Structure 1
């Protein structure tokens, strides 16, 4: 049982609606960190922008990113 409730409904918030719609389109559902960070939409948006900035920075080869994601998921025990 999670200690922090997960938010799965955008409640009419345009920021959450945009993010929720995109994640459901890409992944089929919302990712758990999104459901938790949805308690504060500005923080959720900032976290997503940080992730996008890292991906688009060019500091890591694009072909390496999926391997990094897989390795981090494995370290964290996530069946991703």
Structure 2
């Protein structure tokens, strides 16, 4: 049982609706971190912007990003 409840419905919040719709479109569902960060929609939005900034910075080759994500998930024990 999770220590923090997971939110799966946007409850009419425009930030959550946009984030949840995007994740459902890309991944077919919501990722667990999004369901937890949904308790504070501005933090969820900021985390998404941070992730986009890293991807768009050009500091890592685009072909390397999926490998980095996979490696981090493996280190953290997350199935990816």
Alpha-carbon distance in 2 for matches of 1:79, 1:35: 17
Structure 2 residues not aligned, in runs of 5+: none
User: What TM-score comes out, normalization by structure 2 length?
Assistant: 0.98
CA RMSD after TM alignment: 0.5
Aligned residues: 80
Alignment of 1:22 onto 2:22: yes
| Residue in structure 1 matched with residue 36 of structure 2 by the alignment | 36
Give the deviation of 1:60 after TM superposition: 0.5
What is the CA-CA distance between 1:64 and the residue it aligns to? 0.4
- Give 4+ residue runs of structure 1 displaced > 6 Å after superposition: none
Which residue is equivalent to 2:49? 49
